[in-house]
Amino acid sequence: MKYFIVTYGCQMNVHESEKIAAILEKLGYQPCEKREEADIIVFNTCAIREGAEERVFGNVGNLKKLKKAKKDLIIVLCGCMTQKEETAQKMMRTFPFVDIVIGTFNLPKLADYIAAVKQGRQLQIWQEGDIDESLPYKRTSGDNAWVNIMQGCNNFCTYCIVPYVRGREKSREEQNILNEIKQILSEKKYKKITLLGQNVNSYGKDLKQPVSFAKLLKDICALEGDFKLSFMTSHPKDLTDEVIDVIANEEKIEKYIHLPAQSGNNRILALMNRKYTREKYLSIIEKIRAKIPNCRITSDFIVGFPSESEEEFNDTLSLVKQVQFDSIFAFMYSPREGTVASKMENQVPQNVKNERVNKLLQEEKRIQKETGKR
Ligand code: 5AD
Ligand code: SF4
């Protein structure tokens, strides 16, 4: 029996696919190179932008032929798209040949669902659940081991679907994280540990006995072994001086911070509900550069947020010029149903978003050439 997993989206999904792989291997499935050879195909989906969802719809549609040729083929759809009840139902209607549609919280029971499908059932489940500590991972990222430290997000940036599909912030107990990393290090295969969370800087605030992200970092660095530690993603409003000091002082921590700014204009930042200003963002960058010389800094930007004027977009351009990031990701704003921004007036036309994203990326290229940065 063979399995094939298709993963869309962020590192969180890549890591969750490692859990899916472990579940399937425990059931006796082996990985295969092509979906045509598989007995079970899993689509781990992403909902962050419309483009990601469209790709999933197209690619799942293509499975119809395979299912016709191989009646016992099991098709599973999971991840952020399927956590949205309406999208999950639409997928089931559009693709009646799909066997299992489950949300982000339902992976721990995947083995049971597969057993039910083998008895002729079709399943749709997207109930909220807790952090799962029971299942192992089949690590697939070479000498890097991903370690999830929390799930969900409380920030409700007005453009973002994540809080709706991943729920509120829930941190793992520190001891469970340390035990997992000790186990990883004992295997002697991994040189790099990358901590994952939507907003790692607010790690531990929700625990019964709160633990700060800075303490977690220090405690991990105190573990024996030769490894490098990094983490993503940081929110500028929560990146404390203490965390910057820990990065500066701990040899094991990579001198790298991904710090999404999203915009360089204060009116747009407020509309995005980011809870910092351009000036505050710049002061954090200054602090990082003063305390951690040669720290690599990267960022995300959204262009064409509802009502963004040309002048306001120019503030984003000038922020990019001013900071000279090591690299940036630039996205065209994509309205997500259910979010506050999707209902805002003055949505920016697609051709303007295109122009702005190209301008931003060109500027980025020019700066990189000038500064010799990658
Ligand atoms: N449209 C465009 N980009 C988005 N991002 C999040 N939501 C949206 C959206 N609706 C971007 C942000 C975030 C990155 C992971 O994706 O820049 O940092
Ligand atoms: Fe989305 Fe904002 Fe949370 Fe990041 S911090 S996941 S952009 S709501």
Q: Given pLDDT bands bounded at 50, 70 and 90, which one contains residue 161?
A: very high
Q: Could you report the per-residue pLDDT of 322-366, keeping only the tens digit for each?
A: 999 999 999 999 999 999 999 999 999 999 999 999 999 999 999
Q: Looking at ligand 1, which residue's alpha carbon is closest to its atom 2?
A: 333
* CATH 3.40.50.12160 location in the chain: 2-125
The ligand that comes nearest to the alpha carbon of residue 159 is 1
pLDDT digits (tens, 9 = 90+) for 245-254: 999 999 999 9
In which residue ranges of the chain is CATH 3.30.750.200 found? 255-374
Report yes or no: 147 and 180 within 8 Å, Cβ to Cβ: yes
224 C-alpha to ligand 2 centroid (Å):
33
pLDDT number for residue 127: 79
Residue for token pair 């790692």 = 200
CA distance 159 to 64: 33
Q: Are strands 150-151 and 170-171 parallel, antiparallel or unpaired?
A: antiparallel
**Coil, strand or helix: which one is 47?**
coil
**Rounded-to-integer distance, Cα 43 and Cα 249, Å:** 41
Ligand 2 pocket: which of 11, 49, 151, 157 to mutate (most atoms within 8 A of CB): 157
Query: What are the tens digits of pLDDT across the range 216-240?
Result: 999 999 999 999 999 999 999 999 9
Q: What atom of ligand 1 comes closest to residue 260's alpha carbon? A: 18
- Give me the pLDDT at residue 310, please: 98
Closest CA to 170 of 145, 147, 198: 198
Q: Give every strand in the sheet of 228-232, ordered side by side.
A: 144-148, 192-196, 228-232
Q: Work out the pLDDT band at 135, boundaries 50, 70, 90.
A: confident
Residue nearest atom 18 in ligand 1 by C-alpha distance: 300
From the CA of 236, the nearest ligand is: 2
Write the class of the CATH domain 2-125. alpha beta
Would you state the pLDDT for residue 121?
85
Q: How far is the CA of 197 from the centre of ligand 1 (A)?
A: 15
Please state, in angstroms and rounded to a whole number, the distance separating the CA atoms of residues 177 and 180. Answer: 5
Residues of the chain above pLDDT 90, percent: 90
Q: For ligand 2, is residue 339 a contact (CB within 6 Å)?
A: no
Pick the ligand that lies closest to the CA of residue 344.
1
Whether the pLDDT of residue 126 is over 90: the answer is no
Q: Which ligand is nearest to the CA of 272?
A: 2
- Ligand 1 atom 6: the closest Cα is on which residue? 160
Q: What is the pLDDT of residue 279?
A: 98
CB contact set of 320 (below 8 Å; sequence gap of 6+): 264, 301, 328, 360, 363, 364, 367
Class level of CATH domain 255-374: alpha beta
Residue 299: pLDDT band (50, 70, 90) is: very high
Banded model confidence at residue 374, pLDDT cuts 50, 70, 90: low
pLDDT (tens digit, 9 = 90+) per residue, 33-42?
Answer: 999 999 999 9
The reply to whether ligand 1 has any atom less than 6 angstroms from the CB of 49 is: yes
Whether the per-residue pLDDT at 53 is higher than 70: the answer is: yes
255-284 average pLDDT score? 98
Report residue 108 as tokens: 């721990």
In this prediction, residues 124-133 reach a mean pLDDT of 83
In ligand 1, the atom with minimum distance to the C-alpha of 339 is: 10
Protein residue with its CA nearest to atom 2 in ligand 2: 157
- For the Cβ of 235 lying below 6 angstroms from any atom of ligand 2, the answer is yes
DSSP secondary structure letter of residue 132:
P
Q: Give the per-residue pLDDT at 124.
A: 84
* 141-244 CATH fold: Transcription Regulator spoIIAA (3.30.750)
Quick one: average pLDDT of 178-205?
96
* Residues of each domain in the chain carrying CATH 3.30.750.210: 141-244
Amino acid in position 351 = N
Contact between residue 43 and residue 60 where contact means Cβ atoms under 8 Å apart: yes
Q: Residue 263: CB within 6 Å of ligand 2?
A: no
Q: Is the pLDDT of residue 255 over 90?
A: yes
> 313 C-alpha to center of ligand 1: Å?
16
